[in-house]
Structure 1
């Protein structure tokens, strides 16, 4: 059993070291942002290798770790290897706990460069924010770990007895396909009493958030077929159901008239949510003036505690190539967010059953490329959660808010499975205007400073904790 020993006041020396080190941390973050490391095979994989090497160099330069390695793990069910990850470790001393720090160095593709106000891989500071792909998600998470370790090492020196493992993944944006195998391969090196996953967000740019619930996910590809070949829309239209008509009709059954999910078997979680206005939603999400929110219940219950279904891709004739033709088949990708408490498998089975039951005109349905992930609920009673909340309060100067998050981090289920005794702390450096995955992604610089201060205080206070 662990008994945390909390300092009576925030460690002023640690906070001073953080403040002194922020310029170097931001400079290093800029160097990482310039590396277009994307895990998709269509992109230059040497860039991802450069990114891993740069992170490994940063870890080595802290002087804290006993060993720093760039590793890969097999992708189960294939003959492929996953993308390069960085694993840095130091053993705990004198009965101190061990903390595992997670982030990822791979990034989303930039999309259409024309939608960026400045080049996506040229870090640019504007109005108190650092713009660039990965500036927030999640190279800022990487640098929050590095900067906090630097500050604590500078202050504690030889008195730093805390065990630290740092795992910087290289394929989170590509589905973490080798994540579970990586955990299994390196289980002893990664074993920890507490795990910080720095890949979430905050309540706003000045108020920290500790993520205590995450939705799961169920993503799959659906092919809808009605004809064995394309036909002339003038000759047969009105008697023959084309695949687009069938697809649109079928997809419309997934939601009720309010836009809420109408799939029997997809559940919701009953939990209170903080106040959050429609005006805030409009500001943060970018709703057009005439567009209304969807769903029912409080706004945050819709995002945190209820399912959502989104069509995120479609293969059909392009507008430029449109002709008067009845389409024989249409393929869509459906992404569902699953309420905490329901498994991704249960949600997928409910979706598949719903779609098969509602297939119009006898349309043939084919399901493939199923990807599932479970949600996450934090046990907030642990000692590490209390330490984290206190560190956030003192690092930001504002009490943290317990957050639910509408997004998914499916690999957390792997962490829970491999390390059931570890307390998992989901934190982050993003604020609601970071626009992760979107053009003009950015990091709020003051949020970053406060996030580093909070993590440095957490490390220092864990160093004062006796197992």
Structure 2
């Protein structure tokens, strides 16, 4: 078939379905109603049935929203099976006063639509459906579909796939929960940094003491904590915890101007760290103070602070062991004695990173497909964010190639006000998905040229 022409003919319907889906406030966080999540689930089940998908199941696990699992059998015994993943829940809208239009009223913007969750991840749900429509429900590969309903908040489904490996068995999987480095730049994400949290506490006095009478000798807990935190980075802003892995980044990355704009860095404020942005963001560690318990400036008293606490978020190299990375940070902090005061260090949650193997037939097919869709060779990037389910699916299907690409782009404002998706990225993603299954089926068959 003429893939591009077929997809172009489908775009009006795909856009309409994306608007319908994005209008549903399917936030699966505590405190939000469950009915919209169920409504989004039911809408997608109906769309799958309309395509002709016959086997559709609902996976219900304790403490999470329903997962849609659907399956199209391979067209022949020697055809591969591809698992397609995305999620239909969304982040909360946040402060709605910061939105230029109501977050759950899909609104036209130049070249696309604005709404909460329209990029992350409903555009990728629609991209999967678009590929199936292009093949009229009969793609040249077997297909397993996983549409999750509580990815943004986190759920026990992250760890479920290894307990049911037969269900998730496949030859390749496309995790569509991200997208391109920038609009118009086809991108394959090949690495995910791991993540860990650590809490560090200091208690020095039984209660606050007058800073005029006791300051200078009584140990200030906040000063002790700040001194400890200052050891985590060197003079350049690079992480100074020994043993945390850092390597040069050889793939594509942002320009500094792009990154400053994306991060909202104020004019005149330098970036921290040294080396390439890819090295700082993806193939090296980062430690961020994400919370601090200390007296506020507004309610400050003239007293020596008796207690202070900080929560740290550690991101580490995709190939570094998660427990090792957390242990290195914990040991660094526990070895400190700022002004002779010991710290209480408590490790929290940790999750592994992931690095894909890129030499197999699925990656060959993906490179061809992305070139066909966007007209240029794919770039390779990593991400500092984590997708915990990737590791769960990889453990369930250890021989499968894992590809991460989709219709989002780094400038789509995901998790922020005024999230948007571009029709060009959605269209090209559907074209790429169609070309990928075509090329993968051809390359996978016994006797095909490699």
Shared fold (TM-score greater than 0.5)?
yes
Q: After the TM superposition, which of the residue ranges 112-121 and 376-385 deviates more from structure 2?
A: 112-121
Shift of 1:200: 2.1
- Are the aligned partners of 2:179 and 2:410 in contact in 1 as well (CA < 8 Å)? yes
> Of 240, 252, 256, which aligns to 2:230?
252
> Of 259, 270, 273, which aligns to 1:292?
270
**CA, structure 1 residues 460+254, in 2 after alignment: closer, same or farther (shift >3 Å)?**
same
**CA, structure 1 residues 61+122, in 2 after alignment: closer, same or farther (shift >3 Å)?**
same
**CA, structure 1 residues 212+184, in 2 after alignment: closer, same or farther (shift >3 Å)?**
closer
Could you say which residue in structure 2 is the equivalent of 1:340? 318
Shift of 1:37: 2.4
> Of 351, 360, 365, which aligns to 1:373?
351
**CA, structure 1 residues 356+197, in 2 after alignment: closer, same or farther (shift >3 Å)?**
same
User: Where in structure 2 are there 5+ consecutive unaligned residues?
Assistant: none
Shift of 1:455: 0.7
Shift of 1:147: 1.3
2:15 paired with 1:26: yes
Could you say which residue in structure 2 is the equivalent of 1:73? 61
Shift of 1:236: 3.3
> Of 140, 148, 157, which aligns to 1:178?
157
- Are the aligned partners of 1:217 and 1:410 in contact in 2 as well (CA < 8 Å)? no
Deviation sequence 1:230-269 (CA, Å, 0-9, x none): 4444443333333332322222211111111111121112
**CA, structure 1 residues 234+150, in 2 after alignment: closer, same or farther (shift >3 Å)?**
farther
2:183 paired with 1:223: no
RMSD: 2.2
Could you say which residue in structure 2 is the equivalent of 1:167? 146
Kindly report which structure 2 residues correspond to 1:178-327, keeping only aligned pairs within 5 A, or say none: 178-181=157-160, 183-274=161-252, 276-327=254-305
Shift of 1:196: 0.3
Shift of 1:318: 4.5
Shift of 1:184: 3.6
Alignment partners' CA distance in 2, 1:110 and 1:234: 46
Deviation sequence 1:302-330 (CA, Å, 0-9, x none): 11211111122334444554444544433
**CA, structure 1 residues 412+249, in 2 after alignment: closer, same or farther (shift >3 Å)?**
same
Q: After the TM superposition, which of the residue ranges 397-406 and 289-298 deviates more from structure 2?
A: 397-406
**CA, structure 1 residues 316+452, in 2 after alignment: closer, same or farther (shift >3 Å)?**
farther
Shift of 1:405: 2.0
Could you say which residue in structure 1 is the equivalent of 2:76? 94
Shift of 1:121: 2.1
Could you say which residue in structure 2 is the equivalent of 1:124? 107
2:92 paired with 1:103: no
Alignment partners' CA distance in 1, 2:47 and 2:158: 22
- Are the aligned partners of 2:41 and 2:88 in contact in 1 as well (CA < 8 Å)? yes
User: Where in structure 1 are there 5+ consecutive unaligned residues?
Assistant: 1-10, 75-80
> Of 366, 369, 386, which aligns to 1:388?
366
In the superposition, the TM-score normalised over structure 2's length comes to 0.91
Could you say which residue in structure 1 is the equivalent of 2:445? 466
Shift of 1:84: 1.8
> Of 51, 60, 69, which aligns to 1:62?
51
**CA, structure 1 residues 162+230, in 2 after alignment: closer, same or farther (shift >3 Å)?**
same
DSSP-derived class of the 2:405 partner: strand
Alignment partners' CA distance in 1, 2:380 and 2:424: 20
Kindly report which structure 2 residues correspond to 1:138-177, keeping only aligned pairs within 5 A, or say none: 138-153=121-136, 160-177=139-156
Deviation sequence 1:51-78 (CA, Å, 0-9, x none): 3223222222221x2321222224xxxx
Alignment partners' CA distance in 2, 1:27 and 1:225: 58
DSSP-derived class of the 1:371 partner: strand
**CA, structure 1 residues 222+175, in 2 after alignment: closer, same or farther (shift >3 Å)?**
farther
Shift of 1:174: 2.0
**CA, structure 1 residues 51+223, in 2 after alignment: closer, same or farther (shift >3 Å)?**
farther
